[in-house]
Structure 1
Amino acid sequence: MQKKTFNPLDWMENPTQQQQLTEQNLPPVTDNNSDVEKIIKNIEANQIDIAPNYNDWINIGFAFADEFGETGRNLFHRVSQYYSGYNSKECDKQFDNCLRSKGQGVSLKSFFFLAKQAGVSIATQSHNPRPFSLANRKQKNGVEQESSHPEEQPREVMPTFPKSIYPELPEFLQQVVAIATSDEEKDILLLGSLVAISACLPKVYGIYDGKKVFSNLFLFVTAQASAGKGRMVHCRQLVNPIHKELREEAKLHKQHYELDLAEYNAKKGKEEGVEKPARPPEKMLFIPANNSSTGAYQLLGDSDGKGLIFETEGDTLAHAFKSDYGNYSDGFRKAFHHETISYYRRTDREFVDIESPCLSTVLSGTPKQVSALIPNAENGLFSRFIFYYMNVNPVWKNVFASTTDNGLDDYFEDLGNQFYELYKLLKNNGEFQFHLTIDQQDQFNKFFEEIQSKYINLQGLDYMATIRRLGLIAYRFCMLFSALRILETGDMTNKLVCEERDFQATLKIIKVLVVHSGKVFSELPAEEQKPSRKNRKEKFLQALPKNFNRQKYLEVAKTLKIPSKTAEGYITSFIKSNLIHREQQDNYINLSIEETEEVKEVKEE
């Protein structure tokens, strides 16, 4: 079958164990079984492909595997056979994957919906009537009647982090999420605060895959408009005191520079050896995303290669990347791995290297804004981001409920001042090296080995970069948790060892994030493969049979609207290039066909 995009619903906590079925313990025929059989007969009668998209097809496989076990295999084949690229072996292989993946909780409702959406009658579901709803009723001649429009597709509910992790988090993070009014809000506050803080631990590092890495992370929280992702803006306040300190430092440098410049101008031409003072760096933590490439790099370099891009509208960065002067996507990707960024400063006519850049990024926006920033799944940006896809809750929120006395701004400002004290402690001491214990290292490797194996099996190699970079993201989470523990313990020893509760919380978070990444991955537009245009000469050669004479090649040329004289010239050039062999007068052999057949034989062997 042709490749389709897959939205993995995998790695949830405590997956249900799938019973192995034999002829002796096959499930009895149930209402669901009977209904599915009737619907499939309708599909077969009309020869309808109800799942042209991979995501829909795979969900049918999950539903049948979960509901019927091995007996669902034949049903899966019967539904799949009307897809234009149907292949029996590949269909079997996919159902094996679905059985191994324990169904992932996809129910038969997905199958019923897809069948109905494709125009297949599902009226056989008499035992499961549609519940009454104002949404599916309409007015006709003043009388309210039930609508005949098909039901809307049930929303896919994305998992949230396990509640069990929150009491185990560092106390500072528990305070951050304490004001949340929903599970999603709690999750995005946790992620937003971790990523904002990741830009402010310049002396905390670890060794990962033999390389020195810091805590910096990239995050994109995505949801439809008004889903509540705006709450994450308060995470900016946690590190705002650091930005203010850097701006005050830059202000003082500028004042000194202006005094020195005035003195230089007064002495210029009057005294020998007077040097013009160098312009001071523009130090800051928050780097504007709406920037030219040179401007972004210069601000990052002025701040010793450290910075945080924090934008509540993800398309701000996307627009910068799409402009000719603002495309710093390459440096942005390099910064994730602390690779050197080089750029040219026109004003000073010099090349500048930013060695070991430490950039963190917090973005939020709609799914379309994700696509604007990351145009396709092959783009290296995708695998560098943590993605969190928020559920939309269609319930009015009590806008007057608050657990704080003076509002959230004051609450987060106080938390920002707490973190600022830790920042100063870390800044004024030496480097802090982070470590996982030997047992944690073993668990870490086994955990990600299993995830990688699952997703290569289910998704293929396209998703491997995401899994591998999630390993580095997990390591950085552990590093951040360990640094925040200093606020509780006061332990300023230069060796940070990850606590087991922080390590286990990280693995539970990653299990959820891999699902969210899969959801975003599945909604990225596939990169269109443009068909290669064959020129007239190529078409002519491929249209020639294996053995032919002049009359035959002129007939072929006529069908392709190639003049006779041109065709004769083509034949002459083909003979010179050993693409055609003239065996004797007016008898030719098309050697390109022989080469094609040889290649095919090698592939088959």
Structure 2
Amino acid sequence: MRNQINQDVECTLFRTAFDTLSYTPVTLGGYLADVVNGKYKQQVENVRALVTSGSEEEAGICKKNLPLLVAGGRMEGGRKREHLVGYSGCVVGDLDHVPGSPSELLARARELSYVKAGHISPSGTGLKLFVLVDSDMEHHAQAFAVVSRLLEADLPDVKVDPSGKDPNRGCFVSYDPAAFYKIEAEVVCVPVAPGKSGVFSQPEPRSLSNYIDKFEAGNPFTDGSRHSYVVKLASALNSAGFSEAEVTAECLYRYTAPGFDEKEILATVADIYHRYQSAHGSNSGRQTPGMATKKSVRNLKSSTPVPEDALLDDGSPMGPDYEPVEGDFPHFDKSLLTGLPNLLADALKTASDDTEHDLTLLASLTMISTALPKVRGMMQGEMYYAPFYTVVTGPSGSGKGCVSRVFKMIEPWQRSIYDNSARKVEEYNKEKEAYELDKLKQRQSKAKKPAGTPLECPRLVQQRQLHMAGYTTTARMIAQLEINDPYSSLLFETELESLNNTMAQDFGGYGYVLNQAFHGERVSCASKTNGTFIVEHPKLGMFVTGTPSMFAKFVPTTENGLYSRLLIYHIAGGGVYRSLTSADNDPKNASYFTELGGRLQDMAVFLEKTDTFVSFTDRQRKKLDRYFSREYYNVRVFGNEDVTSVVLRHRLIIFRIAMVLTALRKAEEEVETVHRIITDADFEVAFHIGTVCLRHSMLVSTTLKHSDTEQHFKMHTAQRDLFAAMPDKFKTATLVEEAVVRGISRSSAFRMLKKAQMYDLLISLGAGYYDKTDSGKNVTISKKG
């Protein structure tokens, strides 16, 4: 909380939304004076005229050229959150397209004691309202939730735009003679929820008491429902991880009264802890139950504390929010990776820790997959080539940068293709020049036919470039894929931002190309200037790294088809400091991966001589089917169905990893056999890498449901663990009680029952009783559950 509330609000005014380096400090009062006196009148009236005429697109362009006010505080050096050096404690309520008259609604807002200032928006169809809060910048999202609930409760039929949740969010200037500014306004009190603890951390001293205090705020203790109240409270405390002894002691201290004695309290708490032993600690990262209770907000002093994830949609079938630990994003088991092909084993020698080992392995496999000409295999009747896509996410400074040196291993091969292509282009240019000269001679010799046979126009030869950058247009990407064929291209970037910036443009929306190329499906484009490009079997690999926030922009939702095509590895934690070493004394160490690249180039040249067809054994196929059929139905019944494609496509990714390992074996052995069977050792390596990354992918997918807010991981195995905890025969009431204890809603529990019957995991016996089938009995509790 801030110690003192400054009613003279400091803001920052930017020249435009795009010019983040031209800004001036202003006060909110000074800005409102300019809004009233017409400083921006002409520009704003131009916008409103376009809106009135129905020219929404032109109005949007015109509006973006208006100055931009950041009411969140004083900014220096830019408009990102990190540039906010002085937080003002001012929340902006952006009301778009309000019902009725904006001026009448503004008059009503003026009467609200906590609204500091307000004016009609530059479009003339909404309002901008400014409210002061007593919280600090860290809790701005919570403050925004409180203010939003107040405004939506006090003003009829309005909805506050959620974009204001960020303190650095700006609003375009306006013109409004009826705008108002109050010298003094009521400051909104923001009840801040207690800090979140680690998933399995022990409760801090007095944290039980604090927890119950917050529970009571949303669940008042009344004489008529004392028993059910203690049942509900004990259930929540059990799942939160508090011990039975301390819960019993606290309940006896608080709730013992005539008619509700110690014996009843002891028996109630003991019964809950005994019946729900399997749920103890299952929801230890959960916020206090009372904190999420939605009430009509009429009094600032009685506002229910708002958790930091108050803006999130709680309709997810996943479990409650929790903070994952490193064990939730496992490293590869080095004991299972012994006996790798020599090239990969040598590449891993430079890794200094587990994270660097995993990233080097993934980068090597992904990049090498694009340097294996004529290597392919078949799955479910379709032919596939080796290249695949990998994305590594992790916070800044977590060690992602180590993959840059692995790129040196692919450069010799790409350079050799480029140089060979350059010579052919040079030859083509000479032949083209000779052809044009011959045509000129023919036109000049009209009297007699020139001696010799006329030259034929040479076939067009264009420069091959196997490396693709993130800043590539869609048309250029398709054209380059066609030019590079039959060789595979590689899209490599260590900054996801380059892909995000390009894909956000009309000319760079190549998500379609990535989706098609993953399956080797036809891509094409046509334009009047460049003609038509068609790639029948595009071959493209991709390796990119970025922060979680960048990844959320790259793939904002799991419904995006690209997500299921990615092999994802998330770096948990903030990384470790890497000390300087004496290896820097020898410049030869800088060329280590370049030397490995020379070996890879020789292998690629060898593989180009003959075809290589790779296939599984029957035993390997059966193992894949057993594992992925189980995961498929786990997701169908107990998770989000939009990630079922993630499960299915990881089979193909495992196959491609196995292709890489098998092709490297062939090249190292220098055997020209066309048909190569994947060895059991290579299969187990590919299977291990693929299933570990599937676990990463499933957990990362839970964050994408909240991509517009702070990221929250969820217990994606919560429903599966609930089902597994049930006896072979159970009744609906038992399932629902257990679900409530585990933080799963009743509606989610009933949906799970329906799906479990649909996929033959349960048989209904009638009267609310169910019997598990053999398949249902095979559903086991996860490590987390």
* Greater relative CO (CA pairs within 8 A, separation 6+): 1
Task: Return closer, same or farther for 1:393/1:526 CA change in 2, 3 Å cut-off.
Answer: closer
Task: Return closer, same or farther for 1:265/1:327 CA change in 2, 3 Å cut-off.
Answer: same
Q: Which residue of 2 aligns with 1:378?
A: 559
Q: Which residue of 1 aligns with 2:411?
A: 240
**3-state secondary structure, aligned to 1:325:** helix
Q: For residue 338 of structure 2, what is the amino acid of its counterpart?
A: P
1:352 aligns with 2:533: yes
Q: Which residue of 1 aligns with 2:636?
A: 456
Shift, 1:487, TM fit:
4.2
C-alpha separation in 2, matches of 1:491 and 1:173: 19
Shift, 1:279, TM fit:
3.7
Contact 2:521 2:537 in 1 (8 A): yes
Q: Which residue of 1 aligns with 2:502?
A: 320
What TM-score do you get using the length of structure 2 for normalisation?
0.49
**3-state secondary structure, aligned to 2:676:** strand
Task: Return closer, same or farther for 1:510/1:348 CA change in 2, 3 Å cut-off.
Answer: closer
Shift, 1:282, TM fit:
1.4
Q: Which residue of 2 aligns with 1:212?
A: 383
C-alpha separation in 1, matches of 2:500 and 2:549: 11
Alignment match of 1:491 (pick from 652, 666, 671): 671
C-alpha separation in 1, matches of 2:520 and 2:622: 26
Q: For residue 179 of structure 1, what is the amino acid of its counterpart?
A: T
Shift, 1:219, TM fit:
0.8
Q: For residue 497 of structure 2, what is the amino acid of its counterpart?
A: D
Task: Return closer, same or farther for 1:38/1:383 CA change in 2, 3 Å cut-off.
Answer: same
Q: Which residue of 1 aligns with 2:490?
A: 308
1:30-66 Cα shifts (integer Å, max 9, x gaps): x98x9998777545422279xxxxxxxxxx9999499
Shift, 1:298, TM fit:
0.9
1:467 aligns with 2:647: yes
Contact 1:184 1:391 in 2 (8 A): no
Task: Return closer, same or farther for 1:63/1:516 CA change in 2, 3 Å cut-off.
Answer: farther
Task: Return closer, same or farther for 1:382/1:433 CA change in 2, 3 Å cut-off.
Answer: same
**3-state secondary structure, aligned to 2:437:** helix
Shift, 1:309, TM fit:
0.6
Aligned residues: 422
Q: Which residue of 2 aligns with 1:250?
A: 421
C-alpha separation in 2, matches of 1:165 and 1:186: 13
Contact 2:462 2:483 in 1 (8 A): yes
Contact 1:166 1:174 in 2 (8 A): no
What TM-score do you get using the length of structure 1 for normalisation?
0.63
1:515 aligns with 2:695: yes
Q: For residue 638 of structure 2, what is the amino acid of its counterpart?
A: L
Shift, 1:230, TM fit:
0.8
Shift, 1:265, TM fit:
3.4
Shift, 1:294, TM fit:
1.4
Contact 1:179 1:403 in 2 (8 A): no
1:414 aligns with 2:414: no
C-alpha separation in 2, matches of 1:63 and 1:227: 35
Shift, 1:68, TM fit:
9.8
1:156 aligns with 2:325: yes
Contact 2:384 2:520 in 1 (8 A): yes
1:185-212 Cα shifts (integer Å, max 9, x gaps): 1101111111111112231111101111
Contact 2:464 2:480 in 1 (8 A): yes
Shift, 1:67, TM fit:
9.8
Shift, 1:395, TM fit:
3.6
Q: Which residue of 1 aligns with 2:511?
A: 329
Shift, 1:344, TM fit:
1.4
Contact 2:239 2:284 in 1 (8 A): no
Contact 1:345 1:352 in 2 (8 A): no
Task: Return closer, same or farther for 1:333/1:408 CA change in 2, 3 Å cut-off.
Answer: farther
Contact 1:48 1:118 in 2 (8 A): no
C-alpha separation in 2, matches of 1:109 and 1:334: 42
**3-state secondary structure, aligned to 2:216:** helix
Q: For residue 329 of structure 1, what is the amino acid of its counterpart?
A: G
Contact 1:386 1:517 in 2 (8 A): yes
Q: Which residue of 2 aligns with 1:166?
A: 337
C-alpha separation in 2, matches of 1:381 and 1:48: 44
Task: Return closer, same or farther for 1:347/1:486 CA change in 2, 3 Å cut-off.
Answer: same
**3-state secondary structure, aligned to 2:350:** coil
Shift, 1:465, TM fit:
1.0
Contact 1:238 1:416 in 2 (8 A): yes
Q: Which residue of 1 aligns with 2:366?
A: 195
Matches of residues 93-242 of structure 1 in structure 2 within 5 Å?
A: 110-111=285-286, 114-115=287-288, 156-157=325-326, 158-242=329-413
1:326-379 Cα shifts (integer Å, max 9, x gaps): 222212210000001111153463x33211111100101111221222122211
Shift, 1:271, TM fit:
1.6
1:294 aligns with 2:475: yes
C-alpha separation in 1, matches of 2:241 and 2:627: 24
Q: Which residue of 1 aligns with 2:749?
A: none
Q: For residue 388 of structure 2, what is the amino acid of its counterpart?
A: L
Shift, 1:422, TM fit:
1.1
Task: Return closer, same or farther for 1:68/1:444 CA change in 2, 3 Å cut-off.
Answer: farther
Q: Which residue of 1 aligns with 2:117?
A: none
C-alpha separation in 2, matches of 1:377 and 1:404: 47
Alignment match of 2:612 (pick from 432, 437, 446): 432
C-alpha separation in 2, matches of 1:368 and 1:241: 34
Q: For residue 439 of structure 1, what is the amino acid of its counterpart?
A: R
Unaligned residue ranges in structure 2 (runs of 5+): 1-201, 221-234, 248-275, 293-321, 444-453, 709-785
Task: Return closer, same or farther for 1:118/1:506 CA change in 2, 3 Å cut-off.
Answer: farther
Unaligned residue ranges in structure 1 (runs of 5+): 1-30, 50-59, 73-98, 120-152, 529-605
C-alpha separation in 2, matches of 1:456 and 1:282: 47
Q: Which residue of 2 aligns with 1:138?
A: none
Task: Return closer, same or farther for 1:68/1:474 CA change in 2, 3 Å cut-off.
Answer: farther
**3-state secondary structure, aligned to 1:168:** coil
Alignment match of 1:366 (pick from 540, 544, 547): 547
